[in-house]
Amino acid sequence: MSPLVNHMAEGQPKVVVFDCDGVLVDAVSSWRTLHDSFGTDNAVNLTRFIRGEISDVEFMRSDIQMWKAVRNPIHQDELFRAYAGVKLMPGARACVERLQQAGVFVAIVSAGVDLFVSSIASMLNVDDWIANGFVFDDEGYLTDEGVCRLHASGKGAIISRLLEMNDLEAKDCVSVGDSEMDLSMMVEGSRFIGFNPTRDSSKEAFEAAGVPVVTVKDLQAILPLMGFDVDGN
């Protein structure tokens, strides 16, 4: 199968917004990484969340409760260490650098964990980022609450605000995500690229939406879809 499904050739964007988990990093979920570290499984609540049966805040709270049932208290340093083995997606650094060379505004809009997303944002030197996260007490220990700065299925509102704040237009924006919830990034007039979807529901949603999809784990493969050559032209 070709790594590209459908084709998008509408001119080079001025802004590209990436999801983080499964797109910029080779890990499906920064939340799942913590579950792996604590030996817990949130598959049931994940399904309920995707179906809209529980809210973002309820989902985060249930995750924290699972971890604390295994080990309590939990210091933020322990959460940092859980991400030590997570690597950038192949081609991620080269892709972002290529966009930056062309003067493209690069941002991350993620419902993942801010402790992790902030490190990726710094590593790639992106222009802006936002993610959800945790509340810690004065000694750095995890409390029972999460911080919901954006809804996983409502990223479009954040992107619209980002465009407005930076005097950018939707027609000049391309968003990149790996799940059906990321389709909310496609604000009216903008474009969207599906990247390496792993769930069947995501693949079906991308097909139904008629968006171009890259099925290889190399983020540089999205560049031609936006009118950029990988070699810098």
Within 148-192, residue ranges assigned H as helices are 155-165
Check pLDDT > 50 for residue 5: no
Average pLDDT over residues 191-213: 96
- pLDDT range class, residue 28, cuts 50, 70, 90: confident
| Tokens 């968003």 -> residue | 175
pLDDT at 232 over 80: no
* Model pLDDT for residues 50-76, shown as the tens digit of each residue: 888 998 889 999 999 999 999 999 999
| Residues pairing with 130 in the sheet | 109
**pLDDT for position 1:** 35
4 to each of 187, 222, 223, how far by Cα in Å? 22, 9, 11
Strand, coil or helix: 205: helix
Domain boundaries, the chain: 4-27+88-226
CB 226 within 8 A of CB 16: yes
Q: How many helices (H) and strands (E) does the chain have?
A: 8, 8
pLDDT tens string 124-178: 999 999 999 999 999 999 999 899 999 888 999 999 999 999 999 999 999 999 9
CATH top-level class of 4-27+88-226: alpha beta
Mean pLDDT of the chain: 93
Strand 4-5 and strand 213-214: the pairing is antiparallel
